[in-house]
Chains A and B, each alone.
Chain A
Amino acid sequence: MPTDTSNVAFVRTETLPEKAPPASETGIVKWLRENLFAGWANSLLTLLAIWAIYIILSSILPWLFGGLWTTSSLSECREILQGRVGGCFSVLTERWNQLLYGFKYPNDQYWRPNLALVLLFFAAAPVLFFDLPRKLLIFTGLYPFLAFWLIWGGAIAVPIVALLGVVAGYVVFDRLGKQTFAGGFFGGIAAAILVWVLGMALIPETASENALLESVPSRDLGGFMLNLMLGVTCVSLSLPIGIALALGRQSNMPLIKWICVVFIEFIRGVPLITLLFVASVMLSYFFPPESTVDLFLRVVIMITVFSAAYIAEVIRGGLAALPKGQYEAADSLGLDYPQAMQLIILPQALKISIPGIVNVAVGLFKDTTLVSVISMFDLVGMIRGPILASTEWNGVYWELLGFAAALFFVVCYGISQYSQWLERRLATDHR
């Protein structure tokens, strides 16, 4: 159609400036309308939710912000509050050190576990974030011995001998393992034990008496420090053991397969608390009183064994999820078993297993509070035992247990955030 503009009164030659959208279709109002008040049912639920949040906050916030931090006992708190709502957080400030380190760790030595915790971040970083330079792993390898020395103190020769034993074992494994894996494996273990036995015999009995760092027995460890130590040690030990068990369960060799199956099924069939009781109570019948294995070590072994069985099953799930073609591809490339596992199978299987492994790790970390039933004073043990049994603080529950919950939440949430990052980082399948 031709356009003739001569008999038209007005023709706009430029476009109108854009107008702001109606107030109800923009910004916060739109968001509110779409998300909170879309329809009467939605609005009703929103109002109910706001009411519920108000009820909860109006009782928690005065308690939280009206709390007292400097009194010396619960009765003093009550006197000052005079019936007003408010938490008695003084228990946290007064018993702060006990909650974190237990009640027997020497006060002037708190810098040692603190330093060990700071170094833990450096040691864990190259393992957790593999973009970092690989050379940092050397420090990670040294860290367990360093942390042992920092926390327990005593003769520095003990961790050095332990380190030398591990190095000797690795060297032998490296040499012999090139011919046969079994030869290297057992040879390495024998070399390590030989170095340990010889080294320990050489350390004089009195070495721990005038050591650089005062010696602290395991019984004196406690508080959240104990939970962290148990959690970190057991998770890091149970991962490799769990991988070995999972592979062993899939092995073609009947002996290895059945050992792994029996081990996993037996451990999974027994509650953790039973294992802990065995560690603390039954084993002291078997050893003479003077020569028992350290209680901390016994508990670490039991928790590690327990979580290794669970991690093994999680990883077995990962292994089973891989298509058979992956195994066949590895075989057709001419890779032997260790190479196939290391280069093709495990990287994929472990990636699939990450959520499950993290699940076990978080559960394990929280399970470390169970040691309170065998009279070890971890965070919960400190709260349930000495602190609630003191005449000053008997009757304070919410403040103490809330604090414990907060500490555990921070750590567990951190673990779960890390695992989500790891999954995104490893997402190579473009799904």
Chain B
Amino acid sequence: MKKTFVLGALTVAGLAAGAAQAATVDDVKARGKLNCGVSTGLVGFAAPDANGNWGGFDVEMCRAVAAAVLGDSNAVEFVPTTGKTRFTALASGEVDLLARNTTWTFSRDVDLKFTFVGVNYYDGQGFMVPAELGVSSAKDLDGATVCIQTGTTTELNLADFFRVNGISYEPVPIETNAEAQQQYLAGACDVYTTDASGLAATRATFENPGEHVVLPEIISKEPLGPLVRHGDDNWGDIVRWTLNALITAEELGVTSANVAEMSGGTNNPEINRMLGTEGNLGEQLGLEADWAMKVISAVGNYGESFEKNIGENTPIGLARGLNALWTEGGLIYTPPFR
């Protein structure tokens, strides 16, 4: 009698734990909306337009997950977070997913108990200097004044870089990117350093971008990617494979334009498996069979999203660089859909 009670209690506890683990996707479905944490505003990555519609490279990640789970890329409640509130928002359950140019680091992954599902942008810290300074390498910057955002990893990377190269610098601490732009343009510092994507975006807004150069050195690794809470692996899988679907689609030449046609069946079995015409990958994730088709028709593949938001034809004008597919010399690579 006592034993059965203990067993029963264990079963209930096990079921409860199982329910708690599987909860996120069910919560999202029950709510009919994905709560997605984004930046309060970062050029090209996340910003609302004049009509209040969010757009940007990170925002597309949210829309892709919403399309996969709910079949509607607009069923997203965007929760703007600052650098200071982002982790609490995710840990407390206010958001289901954080897609906010967050660097994947050991302590964030392990200590803060988050799961980074992948990398959607490989960034790195760079330097921008006025062209008239005639500097061609960051190693020539001995004695320079450097504008740097306080309290970020860039500050530590900078100190490391100058120490390793045995040169000195004078930091000019600033709070926000906007302030940095003004200080740099006003000549308060010789060099501005932040993530290379940020430098490119900043330079693009200058009145005369040609008068400023971004130096070739990249002094840190900043892999940015979406993240979820520990403890719900099923939800982590959904987000991870949504990102993988975007990348694989580019690799296989599936675009938002031809995805409808291809979902009728092709002679490439991997495309068929991904788009749900063969196998049961969607079912294994707990989603509809055509989940990936919805994702790609809603936001396009990785390359399309990149070109639309931050690519060379946009004012930000980032080259693919490290973020090219592995087949084209970049780092963007996914496990196969099998």
- Listed in ascending order, the chain A residues whose CB lies under 8 Å from chain B are 74-75, 78, 94-95, 98, 103-104, 107, 219, 277, 280-281, 284-285, 288-289, 373-375, 377, 381, 384-391, 394-395, 397
Chain A residues contacting B182 (CB-CB under 8 Å) are 397
| B314 nearest in chain A by CB position | A391
- Please pick, from B47, B51, B85, B92, the residue contacting A375 in the complex, using a CB distance under 8 A: B85
Q: Is B52 interfacial (CB 8 A cutoff)?
A: yes
Known: A98-B50, A375-B40, A394-B43. Is A385-B80 also a contact (CB below 8 A)?
yes
- Please pick, from B39, B84, B205, the residue contacting A395 in the complex, using a CB distance under 8 A: B205
- B92 near A285 with CB under 8 A, answer yes
CB distance from A141 to the nearest CB of B (A): 35
The 4 closest A-B pairs by CB, nearest first: A389-B41, A395-B205, A385-B41, A385-B40
- Please pick, from A74, A78, A388, A395, the residue contacting B41 in the complex, using a CB distance under 8 A: A388
Q: Is B303 interfacial (CB 8 A cutoff)?
A: no
Chain B residues contacting A388 (CB-CB under 8 Å) are 41, 178
Chain B residues contacting A391 (CB-CB under 8 Å) are 43-44, 47, 314-316
Chain B residues contacting A281 (CB-CB under 8 Å) are 84-85, 88
Q: A390-B43, A390-B48 are in contact. List 20 more A-B contacts (CB 8 A).
A: A74-B205, A94-B50, A104-B52, A280-B85, A281-B84, A281-B88, A284-B89, A284-B92, A289-B94, A374-B84, A375-B40, A375-B80, A377-B40, A385-B47, A389-B39, A389-B43, A389-B47, A391-B44, A391-B47, A395-B206
CB distance from A378 to the nearest CB of B (A): 12
| A277 nearest in chain B by CB position | B84
**21 pairs of residues in contact across A and B, judged by CB atoms under 8 Å:** A75-B315, A78-B207, A98-B48, A103-B48, A280-B85, A281-B84, A284-B89, A285-B91, A285-B92, A289-B94, A373-B84, A374-B84, A384-B176, A384-B178, A385-B80, A386-B40, A386-B41, A388-B41, A394-B202, A394-B205, A395-B181
Known: A373-B84, A374-B82, A375-B82. Is A397-B48 also a contact (CB below 8 A)?
no
Chain A residues contacting B269 (CB-CB under 8 Å) are none
**Interface SS, A side:** helix
In the complex, A374→B84 CA distance in Å? 8
CB distance from B180 to the nearest CB of A (A): 12
| B201 nearest in chain A by CB position | A394
Chain A residues contacting B52 (CB-CB under 8 Å) are 98, 103-104
| Of listed A280, A289, A388, A391, residue having the most chain B CB within 10 A | A391
Q: Mark B74-101, 1 if CB is under 8 A from A, else 0.
A: 0000011110110011011110000000
| A395 nearest in chain B by CB position | B205
**How many chain-B residues does the 8 Å CB contact rule pick out?**
38
| B204 nearest in chain A by CB position | A394
Q: Is B215 interfacial (CB 8 A cutoff)?
A: no
Q: Is B287 interfacial (CB 8 A cutoff)?
A: no
Chain A residues contacting B89 (CB-CB under 8 Å) are 284
In the complex, A387→B39 CA distance in Å? 13
- A390 near B81 with CB under 8 A, answer no
| B42 nearest in chain A by CB position | A389
Q: Is B49 interfacial (CB 8 A cutoff)?
A: yes
Q: Is B247 interfacial (CB 8 A cutoff)?
A: no
Q: Is B228 interfacial (CB 8 A cutoff)?
A: no
CB distance from A255 to the nearest CB of B (A): 36
In the complex, A397→B202 CA distance in Å? 13
Q: Is B46 interfacial (CB 8 A cutoff)?
A: yes
Known: A375-B81, A390-B43. Is A289-B93 also a contact (CB below 8 A)?
yes
Known: A74-B205, A381-B40. Is A285-B88 also a contact (CB below 8 A)?
yes
In the complex, A288→B42 CA distance in Å? 30
In the complex, A173→B52 CA distance in Å? 47
Chain B residues contacting A285 (CB-CB under 8 Å) are 88, 91-92
CB distance from B314 to the nearest CB of A (A): 7
List B residues 291-323 near A (Cβ within 8 Å): 314-316
In the complex, A180→B140 CA distance in Å? 81
Chain A residues contacting B181 (CB-CB under 8 Å) are 395
Known: A374-B85, A390-B47, A395-B181. Is A289-B92 also a contact (CB below 8 A)?
yes
Known: A374-B82, A391-B44, A391-B314. Is A95-B39 also a contact (CB below 8 A)?
no
| Of listed A75, A277, A284, A387, residue having the most chain B CB within 10 A | A284
CB distance from B28 to the nearest CB of A (A): 13
| Of listed A280, A387, A389, A397, residue having the most chain B CB within 10 A | A389
In the complex, A289→B84 CA distance in Å? 19
Chain A residues contacting B49 (CB-CB under 8 Å) are 390
In the complex, A402→B259 CA distance in Å? 48
In the complex, A387→B40 CA distance in Å? 10
In the complex, A171→B39 CA distance in Å? 49
Chain B residues contacting A219 (CB-CB under 8 Å) are 79
In the complex, A388→B89 CA distance in Å? 23
In the complex, A373→B175 CA distance in Å? 12
- A384 near B88 with CB under 8 A, answer no
CB distance from B267 to the nearest CB of A (A): 40
In the complex, A285→B94 CA distance in Å? 10
CB distance from B39 to the nearest CB of A (A): 7
Q: Mark B22-47, 1 if CB is under 8 A from A, else 0.
A: 00000000000000000111111011
Chain B residues contacting A103 (CB-CB under 8 Å) are 48, 52
Chain B residues contacting A104 (CB-CB under 8 Å) are 52
Chain B residues contacting A75 (CB-CB under 8 Å) are 315
List B residues 222-254 near A (Cβ within 8 Å): none
Chain A residues contacting B94 (CB-CB under 8 Å) are 284, 289
Chain A residues contacting B43 (CB-CB under 8 Å) are 389-391, 394
CB distance from A385 to the nearest CB of B (A): 4
In the complex, A288→B39 CA distance in Å? 23
- Please pick, from A280, A374, A397, the residue contacting B178 in the complex, using a CB distance under 8 A: A397
Chain B residues contacting A385 (CB-CB under 8 Å) are 40-41, 47, 80
In the complex, A241→B57 CA distance in Å? 47
- B46 near A389 with CB under 8 A, answer yes
CB distance from A404 to the nearest CB of B (A): 13
Known: A281-B88, A375-B81, A395-B205. Is A386-B48 also a contact (CB below 8 A)?
yes
Chain B residues contacting A394 (CB-CB under 8 Å) are 43, 201-202, 204-205
In the complex, A78→B209 CA distance in Å? 13
CB distance from A314 to the nearest CB of B (A): 31
In the complex, A98→B49 CA distance in Å? 10
In the complex, A390→B56 CA distance in Å? 9
| A83 nearest in chain B by CB position | B207
